[in-house]
Chains A and B, each alone.
Chain A
Amino acid sequence: MYTFLARRLLATIPVLLVVAVLVFLMLRLTPGDPAAILAGDAANTEQIAQIRTGLGLDRPIIVQFGIWAGNLLSGDLGESFYYKQKVTTLIAHRLEPTVSLAALTILIAVAVSVPLGVLAAWRFGSLFDRMLMGFSVIGFSVPVFVLAYILIWLISLKLGWLPVQGYQRLADGFGPWLRHLLLPSITLSVIYIALIARVTRASVLESLGEDYIRTARAKGLPELRVLVRHALANAAVPIVTVIGIGIALLIGGVVVTESVYAIPGLGRLTVDAVLARDFPTIQGVILFFSFVYVGINLLVDLSYVFLDPRIRY
């Protein structure tokens, strides 16, 4: 297993290298001039040229890449053109809201979807099963922003239970943190509830047809124990895979939710950086996302060992 771990960690280096080169080159080929954006509306051509020189954008691309790659090797992601702050500082500041949102979303999604999926499989073909499948289709289909506006209107504006927008840091207290995150997390969790519930249902359904389930029932085990200890435990690998992918997607895919609920997270940072052609920030954030993707995939792979004793690396 340690060999596997070392091999996988080594494999992340070329992946990140390819991402770094591709992102760097694609950004330089994208239309838009960071200097023109920074200069403002009334700036003239000379002022823009001076800013471009100041940012080092008038140098050959290979030189720009060399400088950036050199800094990267020393752990420096560079300085934002736009905010004049270290990209690492910007990412660090935006990490907490995004991780909090992703964590609470996954927590809600797993807490709701896994029991629902197991129940649907257990009551396969019943009204409950069909209702869950119907909900899954709706959960997949309704755009996040539509759901967000509906929930805001109902929960915040009409009932006044939760705030409309904003984020409170965990350091300011658990209550305010939770209060501001509940609505966005519920909004975002709907699609994951739909996804995980379907996968859980299918996986558990397959397990329920296995011989060991019949044996367990024949032994007189309570149905709950059969479902959880035998069916769900053996169906865990695909479920954990989907949850892992879900977490990875959430880290980089919460742009809409962060915008609607005004959460200053990584998604919003990425959009702002793209709109401002803030090359160092875009490069830094994408590299960070890649690292997270690779890391979570690795953790998911490692979890298989614990979930299924037959798997050995």
Chain B
Amino acid sequence: MNVSRIAAAIAATASLLAAPGFAQAQGDPKVLRIVPHSNLAILDPIWTTAYMSRNHGYMIYDTLFGTDDKSQIKPQMVESWTESPDHRLWTFKLRKGLEFHDGKPVTGEDVVASLARWGKRDAMGSALMTFVERMDSPTPDSFRIFLREACGFVLEALGKPSSNVPFIMPKRVADTDAFKQIDDYTGSGPYIFRKDEFKPGDKAIYVRNPKYVPRKEAPSGSTGGKHVYVERVEWNLALRDAQAQVNALQKGEVDILEALAFDHYETVKKDASLQIPKYSNVNLQYMARFNHLHKPFNDAKVRQAVMAAFSQEPFLKAQVGVKELYKGCASMFTCGTPYGSPVGSDIQSKSNMKKAQGLLKASGYDGTPVVLMKPTDLASIQKLPDVAAQLLRQAGFKVDLQAMDWQTLVGRRAKKDPIDKGGWNMFLTAWQGHDIWNPIANAALDTRGEASGWFGWAKDDKLVELRAQFMRATEDAQKKKLAEAIQVRAFEVATHAPLGEYTQPMAARKNISGFFITNGNLYWNLKKN
């Protein structure tokens, strides 16, 4: 091969690589390319509480009610509703023009079947179903809920914004056993899921639902008009390395990063081609959960000593680091939502190590080591256990900090075994604000002991009674008062320790507009210029 041939070959290869066609749809204004916060594996948002499945649900399904940016419940698929004077009969009328992706109209029967399935899986749904006598659909565009006795959270349950969201599915799909995953993803939401293009661990594709009729109101939270201005949304499920995500965003290969790593916050902030849009006014909350079954945390006095030791600032500073992204919040409910308040939180909000040491001494703690589980592979919470271990040691605890991957932790925390048989004493986690914003949704406040289920198995009859009263309360003022009483009691018995709140920043290219305050990761109303 002579020199001219080699040069020709190089030139041909270079032109092939540089051809404009290879820029693919990168600049296509009709395609929105999103990097979600995790991998999408389970496509049934009722079967699992995973946030990725919930977000997938919001793309393709619609909801009866939603929660707006002020945490108020607003109608979505529902046009109007009435409540009988004794609060036991609720009648709902559906909006006109609701249609599933297969062209069939959404009927009351679809709604009843969907609610029945959801009520078997979701904590709040299950609580609601304990009050429900029956549900029916007197006309195709309406449905009714008959209650055995009045309860005060019908709309809150139907409009709950986070897992499990009561998404409405066709009856034939909703009739699937609640403990089996669905395999038909027909919804009536603003996007249609392209099952044929779904490649697990690679990409999930959604196309605009041309028949979707948005509400007239402006989008707000999970309510309002769900206008879609792009033809296609691509979720890049393969791009999970934090640095690679930022590289791809800077290069314009993706449009939105759902979860920007804190370490890259300043880099993105300084980049003129990028933006950090405000998309939520409800924060996430860190939490330390005790195992109430075993020593030493089967003693409320010992747990209170931990509460006193766990000042929130060190956790937030170590884990988040960026001052403008975190704030202290000594509340069992998300700050900024209707029940978020510091009432009864003195033991933690006025925490100090001397008090913790005194409380621990007074508790008669016998030196039993605290098995603290640390997930080494979950960047979003992996620094918290180190801070917890340090503070616990300062307070006088012996600590056995055990490192493991998150999935080992998830499996182990479900075990009630004694410590010497693989049990545990404490783990730390994070919750999205709307999962813990009221006493029913907040799983950590379910204190029915081993029967309640959520890991740690707290037991307190007084709290159980207060929660039951809250469920029956129908007036807002009464609910607020009961929520406060629940919080006071929860701090007294130290069900768990809230460790402060943070904002999970999102990053986007500057040419993306239309962001609004949501309560999750919702992708309507967005325009790509």
Q: Taking beta carbons and an 8 Å cutoff, which residues of A are in contact with B?
A: 31-34, 36-48, 50-51, 54, 80, 82-85, 90, 93-94, 149, 152-153, 156-157, 160-168, 173-176, 178-179, 182, 259-264, 268-269, 272, 275-277
Partner of B412, one of A31, A173, A276: A31
Known: A38-B42, A264-B238, A269-B201. A165 touches B408 (CB 8 A): no
**For chain B residues 1-57, which have a beta carbon within 8 Å of chain A?**
16-17, 19, 21-22, 24, 39, 41-43, 48-50, 53
Report the minimum CB–CB distance from B504 to chain A (whole Å).
15
A88 to B138: give the CA distance in the assembly, Å.
Answer: 48
Asked if A44 and B16 make an inter-chain contact with CB atoms under 8 angstroms apart, the answer reads: no
The 3 closest A-B pairs by CB, nearest first: A44-B453, A33-B411, A40-B49
Contacts of B377 in A (CB 8 A): 275
Interface-side segment among B61-69, B248-256, B313-321, B482-490: B248-256
Partner of A39, one of B48, B200, B404: B48
Partner of B202, one of A39, A178, A264, A275: A264
A276 to B181: give the CA distance in the assembly, Å.
Answer: 17
Asked if B39 and A36 make an inter-chain contact with CB atoms under 8 angstroms apart, the answer reads: no
Report the minimum CB–CB distance from B236 to chain A (whole Å).
7
Which residue on chain A has the smallest CB distance to residue B52? A40
Known: A165-B253, A264-B202. A176 touches B248 (CB 8 A): no
Partner of B410, one of A32, A149, A168, A264: A32
Which residue on chain B has the smallest CB distance to residue A163? B253
Q: Taking beta carbons and an 8 Å cutoff, which residues of B are in contact with A?
A: 16-17, 19, 21-22, 24, 39, 41-43, 48-50, 53, 121, 123, 163, 179-181, 183, 199-203, 236-241, 243-244, 247-248, 250-251, 253, 377, 404-408, 410-414, 416, 422, 429, 431, 435, 443, 452-455
Asked if B429 and A166 make an inter-chain contact with CB atoms under 8 angstroms apart, the answer reads: no
11 pairs across A/B with beta carbons < 8 Å? Answer: A32-B408, A33-B410, A33-B411, A42-B123, A48-B414, A84-B42, A93-B202, A164-B247, A178-B16, A179-B22, A262-B239
Asked if B22 and A272 make an inter-chain contact with CB atoms under 8 angstroms apart, the answer reads: no
Asked if A42 and B239 make an inter-chain contact with CB atoms under 8 angstroms apart, the answer reads: no
Asked if B251 and A82 make an inter-chain contact with CB atoms under 8 angstroms apart, the answer reads: no
Asked if B251 and A164 make an inter-chain contact with CB atoms under 8 angstroms apart, the answer reads: yes
Asked if A47 and B16 make an inter-chain contact with CB atoms under 8 angstroms apart, the answer reads: no
Which residue on chain A has the smallest CB distance to residue B40? A83
Known: A54-B179, A165-B247. A39 touches B49 (CB 8 A): yes
Asked if B411 and A176 make an inter-chain contact with CB atoms under 8 angstroms apart, the answer reads: no
Contacts of A51 in B (CB 8 A): 179
Contacts of A176 in B (CB 8 A): 21-22, 24
Report the minimum CB–CB distance from A235 to chain B (whole Å).
25
A162 to B121: give the CA distance in the assembly, Å.
Answer: 47
Asked if B49 and A42 make an inter-chain contact with CB atoms under 8 angstroms apart, the answer reads: yes
Asked if B411 and A40 make an inter-chain contact with CB atoms under 8 angstroms apart, the answer reads: no
Asked if B240 and A42 make an inter-chain contact with CB atoms under 8 angstroms apart, the answer reads: no
Of the candidates A31, A149, A276, the one having the most CB atoms from chain B within 10 angstroms of its own CB is A31
Asked if B238 and A263 make an inter-chain contact with CB atoms under 8 angstroms apart, the answer reads: yes
Contacts of A83 in B (CB 8 A): 41, 200-201
Known: A163-B253, A175-B19. A31 touches B408 (CB 8 A): yes
Report the minimum CB–CB distance from B407 to chain A (whole Å).
5
Partner of B200, one of A42, A45, A85: A85
Asked if B236 and A262 make an inter-chain contact with CB atoms under 8 angstroms apart, the answer reads: yes
Asked if A276 and B17 make an inter-chain contact with CB atoms under 8 angstroms apart, the answer reads: no
A79 to B16: give the CA distance in the assembly, Å.
Answer: 40
Asked if A277 and B163 make an inter-chain contact with CB atoms under 8 angstroms apart, the answer reads: no
Partner of A277, one of B42, B411, B413: B411
Asked if A259 and B407 make an inter-chain contact with CB atoms under 8 angstroms apart, the answer reads: no
A73 to B53: give the CA distance in the assembly, Å.
Answer: 34
Contacts of B183 in A (CB 8 A): 84
Asked if B414 and A33 make an inter-chain contact with CB atoms under 8 angstroms apart, the answer reads: yes
Report the minimum CB–CB distance from A8 to chain B (whole Å).
34
Contacts of A93 in B (CB 8 A): 199, 202
Asked if A45 and B453 make an inter-chain contact with CB atoms under 8 angstroms apart, the answer reads: yes
Report the minimum CB–CB distance from B237 to chain A (whole Å).
8
Which residue on chain B has the smallest CB distance to residue A272? B201
Asked if B21 and A31 make an inter-chain contact with CB atoms under 8 angstroms apart, the answer reads: no
Asked if B199 and A37 make an inter-chain contact with CB atoms under 8 angstroms apart, the answer reads: no
Asked if A152 and B412 make an inter-chain contact with CB atoms under 8 angstroms apart, the answer reads: no
Report the minimum CB–CB distance from B17 to chain A (whole Å).
5
Partner of A175, one of B17, B179, B407, B455: B17
Partner of A84, one of B181, B201, B241, B453: B181
Of the candidates B22, B243, B435, the one having the most CB atoms from chain A within 10 angstroms of its own CB is B22
Which residue on chain B has the smallest CB distance to residue A156? B251
Report the minimum CB–CB distance from A299 to chain B (whole Å).
29
Contacts of B21 in A (CB 8 A): 173, 175-176
Of the candidates B24, B41, B42, the one having the most CB atoms from chain A within 10 angstroms of its own CB is B41
Asked if A178 and B238 make an inter-chain contact with CB atoms under 8 angstroms apart, the answer reads: no
Known: A39-B49, A260-B244, A268-B238. 6 other contacts (CB 8 A): A42-B435, A83-B200, A162-B17, A165-B239, A167-B238, A272-B39
A80 to B181: give the CA distance in the assembly, Å.
Answer: 13
Asked if A174 and B16 make an inter-chain contact with CB atoms under 8 angstroms apart, the answer reads: yes
Known: A38-B48, A163-B251. A259 touches B200 (CB 8 A): no
Which residue on chain B has the smallest CB distance to residue A264? B202
Asked if A164 and B253 make an inter-chain contact with CB atoms under 8 angstroms apart, the answer reads: yes
A194 to B388: give the CA distance in the assembly, Å.
Answer: 46
Report the minimum CB–CB distance from A148 to chain B (whole Å).
9
Asked if B24 and A168 make an inter-chain contact with CB atoms under 8 angstroms apart, the answer reads: yes
Known: A32-B410, A37-B411. A178 touches B17 (CB 8 A): yes
Asked if B17 and A90 make an inter-chain contact with CB atoms under 8 angstroms apart, the answer reads: no
A182 to B429: give the CA distance in the assembly, Å.
Answer: 40
